[in-house]
Structure 1
Amino acid sequence: MRQFTAVVNPTAGGATSAAALLGVARLLREAGAGLETEYSRSLGHAREIARRAGEDGRVVLAVGGDGMAGGIGGALSGTGATLGLVPAGRGNDFARALGLPTEPAALAEVLLRGEPRPVDTIEVTSAVHDRTVVLGSVYAGVDALANRHANDTRLLRGAASYYAGALRAVTGWRPTRYRVTVDGEEHAFTGYTTVAANSGYYGFDRRIAPSARVDDGLLDVVMIHHAPRLLFFALMNELASGAHVRRPQVRVVRGREVRIEADRAVPYGADGEVEALVPVTARVLPGALRVLC
């Protein structure tokens, strides 16, 4: 029977995370599995806990949203350890890409009996940020700014915080000249953002890269060119279905390594947590992580 270590951050959505774990934990223990719960002080501390548990041969459960999943998954990438997800965040986009259930009984069944599946991860490097590894995507532009605004919002939760953050970011955005190099081929354009996507979802169930697969050894690179603001808002609405990729203002290419540069200090983010300024390089690590799904 599997032995689990659940990692929870009590300072970031702790009540939601604890509630999500509670029902699943009871079912795991009733089935005879071992379960320990560790409370982290920060994402860095969560990574340390995850590495130690993985070295001991335990399945590490990331309890929280995409930031926690990306942080712990990145820490386990390349180690041979197994990750399990207990979705309890605002977006849960990587769990959605894996098709994980949210109902406790179904999720417990996956954790108890699901086969570990190798998935890709993303190595992220920049001049001002240490090398890190994430799961979902790296995005540089108006969406990174929107995510920062959403995280700063105290009055709104869930999708509402993302919409409010996006409105604020787009309203103040000015056209940016990008230079995006994908496997040595350069793409120059003026626009809103560039996303290097391993998962098809980001930003609370937005299908930014509908054709992206987490196990194909490639990143889908989505480049959104300049458009009038009203058209851009229409395009944002189409992210719900992925229809935006049919717009002439959107170009999608695929590759293993992506470098994003811009003509000004544009912010980038990764899985909702890593924040710095371009230039940034994202490189896929094929099959580097084992996930129960």
Structure 2
Amino acid sequence: MTPVGGDAAPSAVTLLANPAAGGRRGGEIAARTARRLLARGVDVDVVAGRDAAETRRRARDCVAAGAGVLAVAGGDGMVHLALQEVAGTSTALAVLPTGSGNDFARVLGIPATPPDAAADVLLGGVRRRIDLGRCAPPEGGDRPLWFGTVLTSGFDSLVVERTERMRRPRGRMRYAAAVLAELGRLRPLPFTIEADGRVQELEAALVAIGNTSCYGGGMRVCPHADPADGRLAVTAVSPATAGQLLRAFPRIYRGTHTAHPLVHTFHAASVRVHTPDMRAYADGEPAGQLPLRAEAVPGAVEVLVPAAA
């Protein structure tokens, strides 16, 4: 890891702000961080778009202009947007977590509180190269999609879709409420999974493909994921009753569900997953209809993390 603190602290930072993330708190954290960096002699260029498309265009322009550090103030959706532009470039990504889930920041050890903690990572953290996942339809054609956390399909997809329709509660409680709502509609799905050329067909309630371990506001669905090993971690949950899933649900937050006989885990550098009439989500954002092929891309992005991480 390359240090960026002290004399090596960045001389300039581009701050991509999303005031909608975390309500008013998102805008306040972005402004507070900008003032803190300026007080330490760091040049700050704050950019924001009126919608996701404009924000992504602005991020692309910043990277093309040679931004050394792109700091994202927002949640996993904003991180996902930024990853599409910084992946495979020399621009380092810093995260100021102000969203409801903040799973990418969580696995990097970047705290959401106190308010200045993430800004201090910018000033005194270290640079670290990590893997990203990249997914696309098997036949190609569409531009590949980068993801930093987890690609989900099956029951998880249905939960994410319901979560998007909900306004309350916030954070992990909203995800938990969506899980409970979808349990009554639970059904087994016929999945085909091709992992590093090996094909298996199985019935499953969900399949999660993780570059990192958690999603949904701290659910450690792929606790065996390591974003520095050049592989993706796969968790497949066999058909279960609503009661069985409900009892296992708390274990997912602890990452101890992998010992359950209904749970199958493995690693692969490349995974193709398919079940009919199902969408997939990456970092909680739409990734398209199955089938999709995902692969691990070693060292695809440089991130700023706490010095002790």
1:101/1:107 contact within 8 Å kept: yes
Q: Hey, what does 2:135 align to over in structure 1? A: 124
Is residue 208 of structure 2 the alignment partner of residue 195 of structure 1?
A: yes
C-alpha distance in 1 between matches for 2:115 and 2:62? 23
- Residue among 112, 115, 125 paired with 2:123: 112
Q: Partner letter of residue 292 of structure 1?
A: L
C-alpha distance in 1 between matches for 2:52 and 2:267? 30
Q: Partner letter of residue 240 of structure 1?
A: Y
Q: How does 1:157-172 map to 2 (within 5 A)?
A: 157-172=170-185
- Residue among 80, 89, 105 paired with 2:99: 89
C-alpha distance in 2 between matches for 1:192 and 1:43? 31
1:265/1:278 contact within 8 Å kept: yes
- Structure 1 stretch displaced more, 272-281 or 188-197: 272-281
Is residue 74 of structure 2 the alignment partner of residue 64 of structure 1?
A: yes
1:129/1:276 contact within 8 Å kept: no
- Structure 1 stretch displaced more, 174-183 or 109-118: 109-118
Distance apart, 1:41 and its partner CA: 2.8
Secondary structure of 1:239's counterpart equals: helix
Deviations 1:107-166 (A, max 9, x none): 222102322210111111126964211211111111111111111112322222111211
Q: Hey, what does 1:233 align to over in structure 2? A: 246
TM-score (structure 1 length as normaliser): 0.94
- Structure 1 stretch displaced more, 124-133 or 168-177: 124-133
Deviations 1:37-67 (A, max 9, x none): 1112333332222222223332111111111
- Residue among 248, 263, 266 paired with 2:278: 266
Secondary structure of 2:163's counterpart equals: helix
- Residue among 280, 285, 290 paired with 2:297: 285
- Structure 1 stretch displaced more, 222-231 or 108-117: 108-117
Is residue 146 of structure 2 the alignment partner of residue 133 of structure 1?
A: yes
- 5+ residue gaps, structure 2: 1-9
Q: Aligned Cα RMSD in Å?
A: 1.8
Distance apart, 1:275 and its partner CA: 4.3
- Structure 1 stretch displaced more, 85-94 or 103-112: 103-112
TM-score (structure 2 length as normaliser): 0.89
Q: Hey, what does 2:219 align to over in structure 1? A: 206
Is residue 255 of structure 2 the alignment partner of residue 242 of structure 1?
A: yes
2:149/2:282 contact within 8 Å kept: yes
Is residue 33 of structure 2 the alignment partner of residue 24 of structure 1?
A: yes
